[in-house]
Structures are given as C-alpha cells and as structure tokens.
Amino acid sequence: MRSASISRRTAETDVSVSIDLDGTGKAEISTGVGFLDHMLELFARHGLFDVTIKVVGDLHVDQHHTTEDTGIALGQAVAKALGDKRGIARYADIHLPMDETLSRVAIDISGRPFLVFRTSFRVEKIGQFDTELVREFFQAFAMNSGLTLHVETLYGENAHHIAESLFKGVARSLRKAVAIDPREEGRVPSTKGSL
C-alpha cells in the first residue's frame, strides 16, 4: 500500500499527518483553522486520498505557522508514500472550473521541487483566513513533496472560489500523476532511472 504517516513538532506547531494515495477520499481533518480544514477535505475527496491531519498550532499568534507546517507535513507524507515512484504516471494537468473561476494546475512528480503560483486575490481574507496563506501552503507542500507545481487562476472574482479551484485542481492533478501506469511495467518514469 502506498501510505505514510508523518509527525512534526516544533515550538510553533504539533502536526500529525497520514495519507493513503490509493484511498477513497476519506478525510479526518482538524487544524484549528476552519477554512484550511475545508480545503484539505476537498483535497482528500477530489484526490481520492484517505487523509488524517491533526494540528495544534500557535493560533494565538496567527494562522501562518499552522498552515505552512501542515503543508510541510502533508508534502513529506506524500513523498514518503510515493517511495521510489516506480510505475507512476508522473505528469498531470487539469483546468478546474469553480463557478466564475477557472484555474489551471500542472504537476510533475520530478523530485525537483518548484512552485509557480500565478494567482491573486482581490481581498485579504476569506472569513478569518489570510488569502496570502494559500500560496504559503502550496509552497510548503511542493517543496516537501518534491513536486514541480504550477498553479494559475486564468480568471475569477470570488476569493473562496479561487482558493477552492486551486485545492481541487491540485488534488485532481496529483491523483492522475500518482496513478500507476500499467505500461510503465514498474519502471521509474525517467530516462535517468530515478526521480
């Protein structure tokens, strides 16, 4: 089974994450940040990943450390669950509509982490959640999962819809990229022989 668990404790947060890449979309999420919980539930459901995340963070400061450290731990869990990446599709992309919003996501499970983030929000907050933390989450996730991740909102007005289209788009793309390609016959999908 392609699953993994990660525990990460700092002076700012205590994070535990488990993921099964071949799950059914079950989610047990408790970060203390309602909007982040909602986005991670979408991530699990649309990726068909079984995800459990429990976070105790310094929310008396703000939501930054909790959001970033959740991205770090989730990224580490994905990387660990992928192992040597034998047989995976590796690349995937999607255009994800959410009402008036359209976002594009492209992923390469390259082992060379990089984030291109071309999205802006017209407001600073979605409820109590700082919109700038959407980028922080994906930065932490990409760097720690070893993904080359491109996310771009082509157009959109509503901040909630924009964020939701990105989380769903990343989930759907990752679902396709981690899928086992039977034509690979268990090979690592690279001419170098490793990722």
Whole-number percent of the chain with pLDDT over 90? 96
Tell whether the model's pLDDT for residue 1 goes beyond 90: no
Task: Work out the mean pLDDT of the chain and round it to a whole number.
Answer: 97
- Taken in order 129, 135, 139, 141, is the CA torsion positive or negative? positive
pLDDT tens for residues 38-68? 999 999 999 999 999 999 999 999 999 999 9
Q: What is the DSSP string of 73-140?
A: HHHHHHHHHHTT-TTB--EEEEEEEETTEEEEEEEE--SS-EEEEE---SSSEETTEETHHHHHHHHH
In the predicted model, what is the mean pLDDT of residues 91-97? 98
User: Would you place residue 9 in the very low, low, confident or very high pLDDT band (cuts 50, 70, 90)?
Assistant: very high
CA distances from residue 132 to 50, 103, 119, 177, 191 in whole angstroms, order as listed = 27, 17, 10, 27, 38
pLDDT tens for residues 144-192? 999 999 999 999 999 999 999 999 999 999 999 999 999 999 999 998 8
